[in-house]
Structures are given as C-alpha cells and as structure tokens.
C-alpha cells in the first residue's frame, strides 16, 4: 500500500476539536440490527460546515423499531458518493450491520463496521485503523467476511507487484469475532502468486481489490 492510500491511524482526527456538534443529516438507511424481524433506522450526521476532505465529528443514531435510540460518535471524511457502503451481516450473528465509509484516497475506500451488540451501537475497526479496500494496477486491498469452522471472520488481503512484474506478493490477515462487536487478530500469512504474463492480475481479483460481505459485493466490476 502506498502512502497516498494509507488510512489514518486510530483517532488521528480526534486531536482537532470540532467546531460544532454533528447535526446535519447526511444519509439514513434501514436494516434489522437487533434481529427482531423489523427494520430499524440508522442515520448519520456530520458537523455543520465541514469541508469535504476534512476529518470531522460525526454521530450515528440507531433507532430500533422495538424502541430505544443508540448514538455513536466517530470521526470521518465525507464520502464522495454515499457514506453507508451497504448493509450486511459482518459478524455472523444473523443480524444486519452497517459498513460505513470513514475516508478515501484516489483509489481506496476506508471503512468501519457499525454493529449493535444488544445494548449499544459499536464501531469496529482493524486494530488501530479503518479497514481498506480498492487500489491500483500495482497494489490492492480486499476485505472478505467469511465463516471458518463455525467462527465468523474478517479477512484483509493486501497485494502488490512492486518487487516483480511476474508475481504478486500477498499479506493475509485474519480476524475472528469474539461476541457481536469484538474483533481480535487471529492469524497472518504471506504468500506469492506467480503470473504468466507481465502484470497479469491474480486469480479471483475481488479477493484483493474489493469488499465481499454476503450479498454486499463492491465494486461490481471486481466480481465475475
């Protein structure tokens, strides 16, 4: 991953005090976050007057159909298209969760998972930074939600061909869910994928340039 594509470390943006509370509605979406069979409402608000490229204060508000409002404060950059990338079950509990864009570069999207744990709306990151997907012809990052031996996992694969035009160097990091909203590092491995022709893509490129969580698969061009 090059420097221009790298997401900020944890809470880098929090060092700057917000000018105002997040009250401007940016988007809202619906999903069954508590598994009661009824659609709940998730709304995202940003502080007024925020510059499009600035890390600023946001608030997510989950309103359950069963009653109760659950706020979550976070920092993010306003996305160029939509702030909620999609709704998917990311932790394997059968309930809907939100994939939220918190930043971007010219070729990558930085995301976090917003999960309702039965009491609070929780923000889930990759250890100390957002997850990332996308890339260029020389590097990529892919995020996959999967289940292995009955355990829900998030897999982050980073790939590049900077060292050799006839191979891709891959770093695969696996995280397992412990409960509904705690994601812990589980394993890491490196591997090399040779290709026949110079700068050929590796097989199944969606694994290295896209986000795949159940029916949420983006960008569509990465999938066969």
Residue ranges of E strands in the chain: 24-31, 40-46, 56-63, 69-76, 84-88, 97-104, 108-116, 121-124, 131-135, 139-148, 151-160, 167-177, 183-194, 211-213, 216-218
The pLDDT assigned to 18 comes to: 44
Please report the pLDDT score of residue 51 as a whole number.
Answer: 82
Question: Which residue pairs from 202-205 have beta carbons closer than 8 angstroms and sit at least 24 positions apart in sequence?
Answer: 202/159, 202/168, 202/170, 205/140
Buried b (16+ CB within 10 A) or exposed e, 156-190: bbbbbbeeeeeebbbebbbbbbeebbebeebeeee
d(CA 112, CA 213): 13
121 conformational bin, left if phi > 0, alpha if psi -120 to 50, beta if neither? beta
The pLDDT of residue 68: 97
Whole-angstrom Cα distance, residue 221 to residue 7?
Answer: 23
Phi, psi torsion values for 222, nearest 5 degrees: -85, -10
> Taking a C-beta distance cutoff of 8 angstroms, is the pair 171, 192 a contact?
no
Instruction: Print pLDDT tens along the chain (224 aa).
Output: 554 455 655 444 443 444 578 999 999 999 999 999 999 999 999 999 878 788 999 999 999 999 999 999 999 998 877 799 999 999 999 999 999 999 999 999 999 999 999 999 999 999 989 999 999 999 999 999 999 999 999 999 999 999 999 999 999 999 999 999 999 999 999 999 999 999 899 999 999 999 999 999 999 999 98
Predicted local distance difference test score (pLDDT) of residue 7: 65
Give residue 17's pLDDT: 46
């Amino acid at each position: 991953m090059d420097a221009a594509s790298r997401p900020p470390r944890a809470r880098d943006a929090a060092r700057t005090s917000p000018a105002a509370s997040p009250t401007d509605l940016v988007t809202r979406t619906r999903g069954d976050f508590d598994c009661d069979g009824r659609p709940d409402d998730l709304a995202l608000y940003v502080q007024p007057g925020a510059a499009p490229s600035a890390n600023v204060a946001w608030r997510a508000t989950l309103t359950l159909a069963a009653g109760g409002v659950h706020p979550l404060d976070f920092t993010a950059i306003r996305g160029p298209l939509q702030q909620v990338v999609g709704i998917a079950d990311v932790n394997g509990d059968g309930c809907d969760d939100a994939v939220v864009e918190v930043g971007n570069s010219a070729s990558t999207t930085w995301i976090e998972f917003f999960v309702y744990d039965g009491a609070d709306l929780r923000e889930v990151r990759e250890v100390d930074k957002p997850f990332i997907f996308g890339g260029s012809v020389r590097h990529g990052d892919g995020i996959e939600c999967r289940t292995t031996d009955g355990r829900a996992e998030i897999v982050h694969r980073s790939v590049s061909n900077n060292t050799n035009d006839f191979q891709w160097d891959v770093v695969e990091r696996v995280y397992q869910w412990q409960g509904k909203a705690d994601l812990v590092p589980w394993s890491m491995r490196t591997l090399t994928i040779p290709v026949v022709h110079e700068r050929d893509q590796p097989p199944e490129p969606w694994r290295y340039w896209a986000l795949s969580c159940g029916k949420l698969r983006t960008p569509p061009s990465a999938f066969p």
